[in-house]
Amino acid sequence: MTSIPIPKELLEEANEIHDLQNLVARFIKSEISRRQILKKRFSPEILSLVNQAFAEAEKLKISGFDEKQARLEMSKIHQSITAQ
């Protein structure tokens, strides 16, 4: 089995979960199943676009992008458009 590192700040509480290994295994099985469904449902091109979008979102998070502020700005723009 692949060893999955647990962040130090979570390690103490994670060690208190008696069936952690089973829970992780169940999650992995579920994730594999979900991905297989996506592969059957969507073309490789669409899945590639989704992966690119996730990568771009991660870059935005790292750069300090403030999602709440962006939502507020989008809401203001939307309101100004619909008010006309």
Q: Residue 61: pLDDT band by 50, 70, 90 thresholds?
A: confident
- pTM, 2 dp: 0.51
Each residue of 39-53: pLDDT tens digit?
899 999 998 999 999
* The Cα angle at residue 44 between residues 43 and 45, in degrees rounded to 5: 90
pLDDT number for residue 2? 67
